[in-house]
Amino acid sequence: MADRLRVRFAKVGKIRFTSHRDVARMWERALRRSGLPVARSQGFNPRPLVAFGLALPTGCESRAEYLDVTLASREGPATTQPWGDSYPDLGSLAAALSDFLPEGVDVVALAGLASDAGSLQQEVSSCSWELEVLGVTASELVRRVEHLLDAPSVSVQRERKGRQFDDDLRPSVRSLALIEPPEGVATSGSSSSWLRTELATRPRGVRPRELVEVLGTDLVLARARRTQQWIERDGDRWEPLSVDDFGRTIIAPHAMERAS
């Protein structure tokens, strides 16, 4: 029986302007209302043991946000699920949690977490994004994308501890290409173009806005949507939780190899 749950959720629409801290508060309220026995920290001001993945920049949408929930242990005979009969399956729990969350935040996958699963903050190595941009023609955007991919380095200025530094973001841009507008997504007009990119999170992450800025100061980022987060190890690559995971215990490929 898993003592932790991993939740994948979407954050779309107007709720994208809500900060990461406010989203964390939303989840604390939703978990409390759900009746799940969430474990709490020790000390003077105990908090629910909920660990979020990489923070989503305010204003961005996502189909792939994550949090891990540690459940409190219960004494007595084991039950089918650690929370008893309130939720007969994880699909029911996912639907209930979505009902307790604001419009635009919905659970899309939920599963028990293997005991050896690592921290989301440490494990995720890259993220895939879809970006809508305005300001130049598609042909001009293609030219700029090719120029960036061919460049040995791409400098961007950042501030750390009150000082300005030049960082090279080129190693963190794993892929970048022009795509057709995603199906079912309203565009900002006939002059908009869409990009798909994969951006590494280490050694330093790249924000979508930084990527658009180095493509040209005349470009405007109209929309950014995170579509996947990726974990890589020993040549394997997988998502922390795929959209069809309801009720399965999540075990990383390397853990299954050790067990076989």
Q: What percent of the chain has pLDDT over 70?
A: 87
Give 60-106 pLDDT, tens digit per residue.
999 999 999 998 875 544 444 555 556 667 888 888 999 999 999 99
pLDDT value for 80: 43
Answer yes or no: do 17 and 49 share one domain: yes
Answer yes or no: do 22 and 87 share one domain: yes
Answer yes or no: do 112 and 132 share one domain: no
The CATH code of the domain that includes 45 is: 3.30.70.580
Answer yes or no: do 104 and 202 share one domain: no
Instruction: Indicate the number of domains in the chain.
Output: 2
In this structure, is residue 248 part of a structural domain?
A: no
- CB-CB contact of 69 with 5 (8 Å): yes
For residue 121, is pLDDT > 70?
yes
In this structure, is residue 257 part of a structural domain?
A: no
In whole angstroms, give the CA distance from residue 240 to residue 4. 14
The CATH code of the domain that includes 155 is: 3.30.70.1560
Answer yes or no: do 60 and 161 share one domain: no
In whole angstroms, give the CA distance from residue 186 to residue 241. 27
Give 94-116 pLDDT, tens digit per residue.
889 999 999 999 999 998 887 77
Q: Which domain holds residue 161?
A: 123-233
Residue 144 in 3-state DSSP?
A: helix
In this structure, is residue 74 part of a structural domain?
A: yes
pLDDT value for 158: 81
pLDDT value for 117: 79
pLDDT value for 201: 93
